[in-house]
Amino acid sequence: MTERPRIEVTIAAPIDEVWRALREKDRIRHWHGWDAPGLDDEIDLIYFQGFAEDAQARTLGVQEGDHIVLEPAGEGTKVTLTRAPRGVSPEWDAYYDDITEGWATFLQQLRFHVERQPDAPRRTAFFAGTTAGAPPLVTELGLDEVATRPAGSAYRATLAGQHVGGEVWFRSSHQLGLTVDAWGEGLLVVAFMPPGEQKPDGAAMAVLSTFGLDEAAYAELNERWAAWWGPRYPAPAEPIPGTEA
């Protein structure tokens, strides 16, 4: 039997607080996905339709068998998500790895929400594109050295023309997360997949979570990133699966 992928995140907050962030729609909007017209419908579909919840045990089963468990970890909470087996939903098997990477992003955004921005509304910018013939996204952003530092390390960098600082939030095989002071202590998550057999065009993604920016500052950020992103990682002919949130 193929081993089911597991994603583990430890959050510096009591288990009851993390559970509320998983079960209250207004809180889920602060960390799941990114701003898009279909976000509320997606939240309802994943977390409140066809789910299996044991509130006392702090476990939650969602969408075709993905299983989330919360456990005390010292003064914090360990969140473990175990993916459903391949074959449970054959029509989604082609996107199995994309969904796994999506969960890795969302759980880190959950941790950031609970630990850093539990009350502030977020506003996001989202970019996705293909990678054929393009350098790795971390390299193109000038973050190769930053990406070697352990989580919690301070950094300074220039992101799409803006001088910023913060700390390394997380690093995985295909993703890098950084807090960004200039975005109201926001969060940047970037992901990069080179072209391969299942993804002939590859895939790149960036989620920019911002807090407290006024309309002019948010518009400037979005426009600057769009101008930087488009020539490097052009949009695919069809939407990249998992980027519709």
Statement: residue 110 has pLDDT above 80: yes
Q: Lowest-confidence range among 5-19, 115-129, 155-169, 188-202? A: 188-202
The neighbour count for residue 106, using CB atoms within 10 Å, is 22
The C-alpha atoms of residue 40 and residue 80 are separated, in whole angstroms, by: 24
For residues 184-200, average pLDDT: 91
Instruction: Report the pLDDT value the prediction gives residue 66, as an integer from 0 to 100.
Output: 94
The C-alpha atoms of residue 220 and residue 202 are separated, in whole angstroms, by: 28
Instruction: Report the pLDDT value the prediction gives residue 242, as an integer from 0 to 100.
Output: 52
For residues 28-41, average pLDDT: 95
Give 243's pLDDT tier (boundaries 50, 70, 90): low
Statement: residue 120 has pLDDT above 80: yes
Statement: residue 96 has pLDDT above 90: no
The C-alpha atoms of residue 117 and residue 99 are separated, in whole angstroms, by: 25
| Percent residues over pLDDT 70 in the chain | 96
For residues 157-185, average pLDDT: 97
> What pLDDT digit, counting tens, does each position of 156-167 carry?
999 999 999 999
The C-alpha atoms of residue 18 and residue 115 are separated, in whole angstroms, by: 10
User: What ranges do the domains of the chain cover?
Assistant: 6-115, 123-232
| Percent residues over pLDDT 90 in the chain | 82
CATH topology agreement for domains 6-115 and 123-232:
yes
> What pLDDT digit, counting tens, does each position of 6-32 carry?
999 999 999 999 999 999 999 999 999
For 140-169, b/e burial (b = at least 16 CB within 10 A) is bbebeebbeeeeeeebebebbeeebebbbb
Q: What does pLDDT average to over the chain?
A: 93
Instruction: Report the pLDDT value the prediction gives residue 46, as an integer from 0 to 100.
Output: 94
> What pLDDT digit, counting tens, does each position of 55-95 carry?
999 999 998 889 999 999 999 999 999 998 887 777 777 78
The reply to whether CATH 3.30.530.20 applies to domain 123-232 is yes
Cα separation values, 120 from 81, 177, 197, 241, Å: 26, 19, 41, 29
User: Which CATH homologous superfamily contains domain 6-115?
Assistant: START domain (3.30.530.20)
Residue 180 · residue 188 · CB < 8 Å: yes
Statement: residue 99 has pLDDT above 70: yes
Give 240's pLDDT tier (boundaries 50, 70, 90): low
Instruction: Report the pLDDT value the prediction gives residue 236, as an integer from 0 to 100.
Output: 81
Residue 193 · residue 131 · CB < 8 Å: yes
